[in-house]
Amino acid sequence: NSLTSEILKQLVNSGNEPISGQQIADQLKISRTAVWKHIKQLEDDGYEIISVKKKGYLLHKRMDSLHPAMLDSMTSTERVGRKIHYFDSCPTTQSIAHEEAANGAVDGTVVISEEQTAGKGRLARNWSSTKGKGIWMSIILRPDIPPQLAPQFTLVAAVAITRAIADETGVTPSIKWPNDLLINGRKCTGILTELQAEADRVQSIILGIGVNVNQTTEDFPDELKSIATSLKIEIGNDVDRLVLTAKIFEYIEKYTDLYIEQGFRPLKILWESYSDTLGKRIRASMVNGEIIGKAIGITEEGVLQIQTDDGKIHGIYSADIFIEN
Ligand code: BTX
């Protein structure tokens, strides 16, 4: 409950200094016995807490979870991740975020879950979300923009997550338009951008982000084994999900700020530098057919441009992209 996470927060913030039971009790206006019960609860949850004689409690080892109290202590953002709704398991963080957004959640609110039982991709596809192995979250953003510019946020998010992964692992994914991050040709991250909007104004963007972090090949269902990868599979060791999540918050905030100040242009340049789609001959498969040609660029709106063999240029708003040889 919230007192337990308040105590966890205090333990985290006091770092290597033990914090006395009396101090915690005074601050939270509860008895020392109550403090002790919450400490027991944290230990049952998997946190290792040392009792230092005459000094108090010390957080020795944190659990591998994305607990908001832990995330809070690692994040220096102003908006993104300041308010977090955390679940051990849920069907999909997207629907919870939609509800929160409709109920007035503030800009930067995050819904995060250790596991999704019905994680979703685009076009009603599934998103495999193994418990405790990835980052499954939805970020609510409230930029003051017209709805037709919202797809740009998929590209802004793609750049932000690419930078965060590169910082944390030393491996830079490449971006496959519009919403996949690939390492060695396999998908390590998917982004799903959804909207609540009026005719001329966005009310909220629900940015769904799924990052495969510590799965092994066995964690993926058979049909994904050849197309999906995780950061752990690629770099050979576990990656700290807390640190990576905090980094993603920071970069999403930084790049949405940049977007608001300077527009899409600087982000388009970054996006292009990470793209593995541009310059290649591709097949774009859409709901109503397909187009084969060379991917020559993205527009200021984030629309992919394909030039077919007859020289015509086509704007693609949404499609699955396959590289042709
Ligand atoms: P997408 O439609 O581009 O990709 C979905 C496809 O990717 C699936 O059909 C499958 O082939 C493959 N796939 C499924 N799971 C995985 C996985 N874990 N790793 C790699 N490939 C996979 C991409 O849609 C958008 C995904 C967004 C996921 C986030 S998680 C938090 C939020 N909540 C939620 O339900 N969705 C978003």
Number of H helices, E strands in the chain: 9, 14
Nearest CA to ligand 1 atom 5: 121
| Distance (Å) of CA 69 to CA 54, 60, 75 | 26, 15, 10
Tell whether ligand 1 has an atom less than 6 A from the beta carbon of residue 136. Answer: yes
pLDDT tens, residue by residue, 15-53: 889 999 999 999 999 999 999 999 999 999 889 999 999
Nearest to 98 by CA among 196, 192, 193: 196
Least confident window among 146-150, 267-271, 294-298? 146-150
Is the pLDDT at 214 greater than 90? The verdict is: yes
pLDDT band at 210 (very low <50, low <70, confident <90, very high): very high
Tell whether ligand 1 has an atom less than 6 A from the beta carbon of residue 119. Answer: yes
pLDDT at 41: 93
Give me the domains of the chain, ranges plus CATH numbers: 2-61 (1.10.10.10), 68-274 (3.30.930.10), 281-323 (2.30.30.100)
| Distance (Å) of CA 295 to CA 40, 63, 172, 177, 291 | 58, 45, 21, 10, 11
| Percent of the chain predicted with pLDDT > 70 | 100
Tell whether ligand 1 has an atom less than 6 A from the beta carbon of residue 229. Answer: no
Is the pLDDT at 103 greater than 80? The verdict is: yes
Tell whether ligand 1 has an atom less than 6 A from the beta carbon of residue 177. Answer: no
pLDDT at 301: 81
Say if pTM beats, i.e. exceeds, 0.90: yes
Is the pLDDT at 325 greater than 80? The verdict is: no
Alpha helices in the chain (DSSP H): 2-13, 21-28, 32-45, 68-74, 93-102, 152-169, 231-235, 241-262, 265-274
Rounded to an integer, what distance in angstroms lies between the CA atom of residue 230 and that of residue 211?
8
pLDDT at 77: 96
- ipTM metric: 0.99
Q: Let me know the angle formed at the C-alpha of 249 by 133 and 84, rounded to the nearest 5 degrees.
A: 75
Tell whether ligand 1 has an atom less than 6 A from the beta carbon of residue 122. Answer: yes
Mean per-residue pLDDT over the chain, rounded: 94
pLDDT tens, residue by residue, 222-233: 999 999 999 999
> How far is ligand 1, taken at its centre, from the CA of residue 323, in Å?
19
pLDDT tens, residue by residue, 162-182: 999 999 999 999 999 988 999
Q: Please say whether the beta carbons of 254 and 160 come within 8 A.
A: yes
Q: Please say whether the beta carbons of 131 and 119 come within 8 A.
A: no
